[in-house]
Amino acid sequence: VSQYRTDTTELRESAVLPWQACAEGLDRYRETLRGHNRCDFARLLERFIEFIDSPGGDRFLSGDSNRDRPPLEHVLVDEYQDTNPLQQELYFRVVEKLDTPNLTVVGDDDQALYRFRGGTVECLIEFPERARERFDAPVEQI
């Protein structure tokens, strides 16, 4: 559920009992992680998205000439058919911060293997529309 960027408040207010239970379970799980100073992969992605939006994230993406580290200019994601919505948000957020948005994704919709961790082939199939909408730029599909 975390990989789908689910709002547990909305699920808790649902009339569907299984959605309410899902929200309660996810909130408890997240609380248990916090209580034990642990982090799962979804929370790691969420934290990195928060970092990207911080002054430190700006420095990370902008590079550092004093450390001979150039700015980030390109984002390339292989196996995009296994991307989940949380990962897609991270990629899009990074690209939005670049001076010139430059994102390349590679994938094969017949090879989606990571549904067990939230991977959804829809991220690949709907990529051209989502990228055009998000970046207001043309998308070249090969």
Under 8 Å between Cβ of 107 and 99: no
DSSP character for 64?
B
User: Residues for the chain: how many in total?
Assistant: 142
Under 8 Å between Cβ of 26 and 34: no
For the segment 78-122, what is each residue's pLDDT rounded down to a tens digit? 999 999 999 999 999 999 999 888 999 999 988 877 777 777 889
Under 8 Å between Cβ of 1 and 26: yes
HSE of 27, CA atoms in CB hemisphere, 13 A: 12
Under 8 Å between Cβ of 75 and 103: yes
For the segment 35-68, what is each residue's pLDDT rounded down to a tens digit? 999 999 899 999 999 999 999 999 999 988 888 8
pTM to 2 decimal places = 0.84
